[in-house]
Chain A
Amino acid sequence: MSKTPEVAVSAPLKVETPFHRFVSDFADNKVALFALFVLVIIIFIAIFASVISPTDPYDLSKVSIFDSKLAPGSKSMDGVTFWLGTDTSGRDLLSSIFYGLRISLGVGVMSGVIALCVGSTIGLIAAYYGGYVDTLIMRIVDIQLSFPAILVALILISVLGKGVDKIIIALVLVQWAYYARTVRGTALVERNKEYIEAASCLALSNNRIVFRHLLPNCLPPLIVVATVQTAHAISLEATLSFLGVGLPITEPSLGLLIANGFDVMLSGLYWVSFYPGIALLITIVSINLVGDQLRDVLNPRLQK
């Protein structure tokens, strides 16, 4: 007799919210879960680089030239252990990598967020207004996407010059087209659904329909594109910085650290460019793995 109310209470609790389903679907793939865990650690390191780094690699009073070119695991004059060795100026490589992660991730995420905003707004405009506007925007997108990202970036860099802001602008201009295309494709499908029609019948403003009704429903594919594009942006920034046409030396990202190591690699100091590369690789692989799983979870066609 006393069981009935219990059932009545617990039954509604068992109803899955879409968010719960999303979390449990995501956790199905253990590799992706591990990648997410690694990614969280990397983001943590990037944010708290100045707190957790063993030394400050850019504090000239702390860096000693006598500690230069030490192999991984050696001790400094002051008894500090350099777990990953030091570079040619005596900077602790582990600390440099922590600081480099901050710059690489910062530039990648910042450009990704701006490109997301710019690209999806343009994509929404194309889808919502259609006609001449749509044709013009999508022609530009098509033409840009027919050139590889590195080429577009090189053209922009040679036009804009060096600097953090310039690199971010270049990365945004490289990426916006992907977002625009994705949003337009999804929005074209969503536009013809009933809830948009209902919203139009309520005489809501165009802005409100586009941003409050259309955009939230275009989010799933956007999230997937955003993860993949951020990994891309980080990799592209590293490549440009390695080539010496990316970030200035005052902003030592992972790509610049690798470039510095390149100069001494031929004399056997492998660690100076090896470990920053590993850090870059782990970052990109974990973002890609998380993105892959997001794609599987958020794709309605794959859901049972």
Chain B
Amino acid sequence: MSVFIIRRLLQSVIVVAVMSLIVFVGVNIVGDPVDMLINPEADQAEIARVIHDLGLDLPIHEQYLYFIKNAFKGDLGKSFIFGEPALKLIVQRIPATFELAFSALLMAVFIGVPLGVIAGMRPKAISSRAIMTGSILGFSLPTFWVGLMMIMIFAVILGWLPSTGRGDTVSVLGIEVSFLTVDGLRHMLMPAFNLALLKISLVIRLARAGTREAMHQDYVKFARAKGLSETRVIMVHVLKNIMIPVVTVLGLEFGSLIAFSVVTESVFAWPGMGKLLIDALHNLDRPIIVAYLMIIVLVFVIINLLVDILYSVLDPRVRLKDAGQ
């Protein structure tokens, strides 16, 4: 067990190290931030001073070593645009993104599972076919375009929901959250649903496949034979069994929700870390780009590591296979 964990940890460390190198070296070849950040009317001395302040005059490998040294101290450089530490700017935006991703996750479960179970109970019914067609559409529709259409229908034409921003927030333990105010919830509804759309389609498929399989199992037949109502058979016996794969997959997909929130946040001007990244890419704000990518890679490596360890705890075959190699 510990061999497995150490081996996986080592792999994670290597991934982070390689990523930091690729990201840092790559980002530093793109464009020339000097042109963008310095007033065109500045004289030569002024330009030299700014270049020196930003550390842009050092050779690239020294810039990288400097960056790594500082990264361990939690300092990923200062934003060229905001003049504040990049890490601080991103950490400030994390709650907004996580809030959005969590709401999308909940929506995926509470909309996807019932629809999937309905579709799995009567696969041939018209309602089931409609659900499955919807799920195919959910996979095919480009997320950003659906977001635009939602804004057009619900914000522009009907005027029911606000189209941009986070709305009123409340501070809980020093973190600003939207879901505790009515205004915040109204702001969150469209972006969260937009982000959830893909996952809803996924959950529908998982729940449908699980239900179809479970309906023929002995324990369902036995439950019916005991005279339990159909509602109880579905709600207790079937649901419990199909939730295992659904929860596993959704756990894995949480990371992808955070990644995809880049798109949703841009459409709905949701002030999360994804929007910060896109703005930084437009402005060539390199410290922000590097810091965002490093944090998101770290988040992913941690999620993957946790999932792998969890798997090996739940399923001994995984770690035995790995140890036997």
- List chain A positions with a Cβ less than 8 A from chain B: 139, 143, 146-148, 150-151, 154-155, 157-161, 231, 235, 238-239, 242-245, 258, 261-262, 265-266, 268, 270, 273-274, 277, 280-281, 284-285, 288
Indicate if the CB atoms of B23 and A158 lie closer than 8 Å: yes
CA of A268 to CA of B255 in the docked complex: distance in angstroms? Answer: 35
Partner among A159, A231, A243, A262 whose Cβ is within 8 Å of the Cβ of B263: A243
Indicate if the CB atoms of B148 and A277 lie closer than 8 Å: yes
Assuming A239-B144, A243-B266, is B304 touching A154 (CB within 8 A)?
no
Assuming A155-B293, A158-B23, A158-B281, is B300 touching A273 (CB within 8 A)?
no
Give chain A nearest CB distance to B165 CB in angstroms.
13
Indicate if the CB atoms of B31 and A161 lie closer than 8 Å: yes
Indicate if the CB atoms of B256 and A265 lie closer than 8 Å: no
B156 CB within 8 Å of chain A: yes
Q: Mark B3-19, 1 if CB is under 8 A from A, else 0.
A: 00000000100010001
| Interface-side segment among B94-102, B110-118, B135-143, B241-249 | B135-143
Indicate if the CB atoms of B145 and A288 lie closer than 8 Å: no
CA of A155 to CA of B267 in the docked complex: distance in angstroms? Answer: 20
CA of A250 to CA of B163 in the docked complex: distance in angstroms? Answer: 30
Indicate if the CB atoms of B260 and A274 lie closer than 8 Å: no
Partner among A158, A261, A265, A266 whose Cβ is within 8 Å of the Cβ of B27: A158
Assuming A151-B296, A245-B278, is B142 touching A238 (CB within 8 A)?
yes
Give chain A nearest CB distance to B108 CB in angstroms.
15
CA of A299 to CA of B103 in the docked complex: distance in angstroms? Answer: 38
Indicate if the CB atoms of A239 and B148 lie closer than 8 Å: no
- With a CB–CB cut-off of 8 A, which chain A residues contact B297? 147
Chain A contact surface mostly: helix
Assuming A159-B23, A243-B266, A244-B278, is B255 touching A148 (CB within 8 A)?
yes
Indicate if the CB atoms of B259 and A273 lie closer than 8 Å: no
Closest 5 CB pairs of A and B: A159-B26, A277-B145, A151-B259, A148-B256, A148-B259
Q: Mark B233-262, 1 if CB is under 8 A from A, else 0.
A: 000000000000000000000011001101
- List chain B positions with a Cβ less than 8 A from chain A: 11, 15, 19, 22-23, 26-27, 29-31, 136-137, 139-145, 148-149, 151-152, 155-156, 163, 255-256, 259-260, 262-263, 266-267, 277-278, 281-282, 289, 293, 296-297, 300, 304
Indicate if the CB atoms of B143 and A239 lie closer than 8 Å: yes
Give chain B nearest CB distance to A200 CB in angstroms.
27
CA of A245 to CA of B289 in the docked complex: distance in angstroms? Answer: 13
CA of A231 to CA of B278 in the docked complex: distance in angstroms? Answer: 24
CA of A161 to CA of B33 in the docked complex: distance in angstroms? Answer: 13
Indicate if the CB atoms of B277 and A274 lie closer than 8 Å: no
Q: Which B-chain residue is minimally distant from A284 (CB atoms)?
A: B140
Indicate if the CB atoms of B156 and A258 lie closer than 8 Å: no
Given A158-B30, A242-B145, 20 more A-B residue pairs with CB atoms under 8 Å apart are A151-B259, A155-B293, A158-B26, A159-B26, A159-B29, A239-B143, A242-B144, A244-B278, A245-B281, A245-B282, A258-B148, A261-B148, A262-B267, A266-B155, A270-B152, A277-B145, A281-B142, A284-B140, A285-B136, A285-B140
Q: Which A-chain residue is minimally distant from B293 (CB atoms)?
A: A155
Partner among B30, B145, B148, B152 whose Cβ is within 8 Å of the Cβ of A159: B30
Partner among B15, B29, B151, B263 whose Cβ is within 8 Å of the Cβ of A150: B263
